[in-house]
Chain A
């Protein structure tokens, strides 16, 4: 069959040298692309393995519940500090971010929405160290190095995360839902709260959880604002420790025991971040729209 076809003029199916070259180039290029994908992922996997192998041997209950001055030493004050400051920050940032996202998507005119998007871009682009520097100059002189200062720095960083996510998920809510509600005579604000936001609630929560995990992972702004302390009492008016700060301060030590503390803290922090991310994944998979 192919013999008969290729005998006819103009229908030659045999590979010319040019075709063979194209095939070789193709194979080579695809191999390079594959290798690039592997290179991209290897260091990250390596980090996870090193965290596990260096952190696990020292992880035990007393590490989680003891203070840094007790024997055996622990990081309970850092865990408390991270959680408390992140909690305060998200309590402040979530309402602002959600309400702002609602305004930009439901009420703002096209041009205002564009300016709002620009605002979110600029805010998201602010390096975390600048948020720290801002609070260091603006709030630390008044409240001193304190948990409040740390929480306000985190708030600045969390607001745009929540706002961007809220705006994006509200955009995905079908207009028909809003129209149906409005046609029944429901005022627009009730439509927004009880129909639009309710439909998008798991997407909005995703934004909140993203912001929480950003807060838990920040170091630089906390160095400038809440600094660190060995006190195990929860007092937002005083300097507070955070897990990230513990890792930073212990990382460069020449004492292997201190570096081990850094690794174990990193393991605890990573486990927390992982739980949050997986929780978000399951939430988002189980919802119809998002």
Chain B
């Protein structure tokens, strides 16, 4: 019978505490997520007797008061904010997806090594710009220029035929839904490009060689092999960026304005988004209004969580593991 020396037993004794410690960290993180959902749900309880969840999501208005006898009169509708969130994010992704994916193709397939390295370095540096700084720039520099150029062109040409592209009936302001979308596009393009770059890189070299061997041009290689192979991964990249756009708060808050009671009639009017409304209105909120903000937060959580779960499912389905890196 071999005897275990005491010093060895003491060395083994750290195993259990270490496992408990590391597992505990995972469980703690999980409980933070659960607590986040529960707390926000609990705070939204006060709202549901006044506004049924479905009416809250689909109606407009932002008014709540408690009179001295304790009767709550309120009309809260999240629809203008949900509309603003979706429309700005869609504008952002519509601009960012093609540009970001093409930029990624350029980096992987076309750019000389030095230029690719330089561009990657630059993108990494500018990715460090906090979103509030982008918002500051957008408000002071970009917004007036967009208003006087692109917005004006679209409004005075297409706007005559399409109502939601016409000029703001009120005085053109410093803020608009369209501009918020463009700012989002600028913010998420590097993300689309970075994730797409990893995806395109993971396309096997032999596929490229096969097409080149058959005499295909560079563009034919990209169109016929690289894009179809990377399709799922690129879709994941776009979804990830979409999720980021939906949750973006400060930059949107600065350029979208604070029009929370009605859906804007044109894209060139001020609007609001879920995140921007939470950041702007929590200050002097009454209890019932806090409940409404919690309701907004809940809908934002559901939106972003369904997106990130979709991306994860896509990833598990395709062998493409690269999307996870983002």
Task: Judge if B36 is at the interface, Cβ distance under 8 Å.
Answer: yes
- Quick check: B133 and A47 within 8 Å, CB to CB? yes
Known: A103-B23, A107-B22. A133 touches B293 (CB 8 A): yes
Known: A40-B103, A45-B122, A107-B22. A220 touches B254 (CB 8 A): no
Which chain B residues border A283 with CB–CB below 8 Å?
none
In Å, the complex CA distance between A193 and B21 comes to: 13
In Å, the complex CA distance between A83 and B55 comes to: 43
In Å, the complex CA distance between A278 and B311 comes to: 30
In Å, the complex CA distance between A44 and B140 comes to: 15
Count residues of chain A with CB under 8 A from any CB of chain B. Answer: 93
Closest residue of chain A to B121 (Cβ to Cβ) is A281
Consensus secondary structure, chain B interface: helix
Which residue in A130, A156, A168, A262 is a CB contact (below 8 Å) of B136? A262
Task: Judge if B259 is at the interface, Cβ distance under 8 Å.
Answer: no
Which chain B residues border A46 with CB–CB below 8 Å?
137, 141
Which chain A residues border B42 with CB–CB below 8 Å?
137
Known: A117-B312, A273-B128. A220 touches B249 (CB 8 A): yes
Q: Quick one: which of B164-196 are within 8 Å of A by CB?
A: 186, 189-190, 193
- Quick check: A40 and B190 within 8 Å, CB to CB? yes
Q: 1/0 contact trace for B1-38 toward A, CB 8 Å? A: 00000001001101100110111111011101101100
Task: Judge if A146 is at the interface, Cβ distance under 8 Å.
Answer: no
Closest residue of chain B to A156 (Cβ to Cβ) is B32
Task: Judge if A5 is at the interface, Cβ distance under 8 Å.
Answer: no
Q: Which 10 pairs show the lowest CB-CB distances between chains A and B?
A: A127-B247, A217-B130, A36-B102, A125-B308, A103-B22, A189-B18, A99-B25, A44-B126, A26-B217, A37-B106
10 further contact pairs, Cβ within 8 A, besides A30-B219, A126-B247, A163-B29: A30-B110, A46-B137, A98-B25, A99-B21, A106-B22, A125-B307, A187-B14, A248-B135, A266-B136, A277-B124
In Å, the complex CA distance between A138 and B297 comes to: 14
In Å, the complex CA distance between A159 and B26 comes to: 10
Which chain A residues border B307 with CB–CB below 8 Å?
125
Which chain B residues border A106 with CB–CB below 8 Å?
22
Task: Judge if A213 is at the interface, Cβ distance under 8 Å.
Answer: yes
In Å, the complex CA distance between A33 and B135 comes to: 28
Which chain A residues border B309 with CB–CB below 8 Å?
118, 121-122
Which chain A residues border B246 with CB–CB below 8 Å?
127
In Å, the complex CA distance between A282 and B190 comes to: 22
Which residue in B32, B134, B325 is a CB contact (below 8 Å) of A168? B325
Task: Judge if B43 is at the interface, Cβ distance under 8 Å.
Answer: yes
In Å, the complex CA distance between A8 and B102 comes to: 42
Task: Judge if A22 is at the interface, Cβ distance under 8 Å.
Answer: yes
Task: Judge if B53 is at the interface, Cβ distance under 8 Å.
Answer: no
Which residue in B12, B135, B290, B316 is a CB contact (below 8 Å) of A187? B12
- Quick check: B29 and A277 within 8 Å, CB to CB? no
Task: Judge if A223 is at the interface, Cβ distance under 8 Å.
Answer: yes
Closest residue of chain B to A54 (Cβ to Cβ) is B140
Task: Judge if B292 is at the interface, Cβ distance under 8 Å.
Answer: no
Q: Quick one: which of B296-326 are within 8 Å of A by CB?
A: 297, 300-301, 304-305, 307-309, 311-312, 316, 324-325
Task: Judge if B86 is at the interface, Cβ distance under 8 Å.
Answer: no
- Quick check: B25 and A277 within 8 Å, CB to CB? no
Task: Judge if B155 is at the interface, Cβ distance under 8 Å.
Answer: no
Q: Quick one: which of A35-75 are within 8 Å of B by CB?
A: 36-37, 39-41, 43-48, 50-51
- Quick check: A137 and B40 within 8 Å, CB to CB? yes
Return B168 CB to nearest CB of chain A, in Å. Answer: 19
Which chain A residues border B219 with CB–CB below 8 Å?
25-26, 29-30
Task: Judge if B250 is at the interface, Cβ distance under 8 Å.
Answer: yes
Q: 1/0 contact trace for B135-148 toward A, CB 8 Å? A: 11101111000000
Number of A-B contacts (CB under 8 A): 263
- Quick check: B107 and A37 within 8 Å, CB to CB? yes
- Quick check: A102 and B22 within 8 Å, CB to CB? yes
Task: Judge if A136 is at the interface, Cβ distance under 8 Å.
Answer: yes
- Quick check: B132 and A244 within 8 Å, CB to CB? yes
- Quick check: B26 and A116 within 8 Å, CB to CB? yes
Return B34 CB to nearest CB of chain A, in Å. Answer: 10
- Quick check: A274 and B247 within 8 Å, CB to CB? no
- Quick check: A130 and B110 within 8 Å, CB to CB? no
Return B93 CB to nearest CB of chain A, in Å. Answer: 14
- Quick check: B275 and A189 within 8 Å, CB to CB? no
Specify which of A22, A40, A96, A106 lies most central, judged by the most chain B CB atoms within 10 Å of its CB.
A40
- Quick check: A192 and B18 within 8 Å, CB to CB? yes
Closest residue of chain B to A29 (Cβ to Cβ) is B219
Q: 1/0 contact trace for A118-140 toward B, CB 8 Å? A: 11111111111111111011100
- Quick check: A251 and B135 within 8 Å, CB to CB? yes
Specify which of B21, B26, B189, B304 lies most central, judged by the most chain A CB atoms within 10 Å of its CB.
B26
In Å, the complex CA distance between A50 and B128 comes to: 15
Specify which of B30, B119, B131, B133 lies most central, judged by the most chain A CB atoms within 10 Å of its CB.
B133
Q: Quick one: which of A141-193 are within 8 Å of B by CB?
A: 156, 159-160, 163, 168, 185, 187-190, 192-193
Which chain A residues border B253 with CB–CB below 8 Å?
220
Task: Judge if A104 is at the interface, Cβ distance under 8 Å.
Answer: yes
Task: Judge if B129 is at the interface, Cβ distance under 8 Å.
Answer: yes
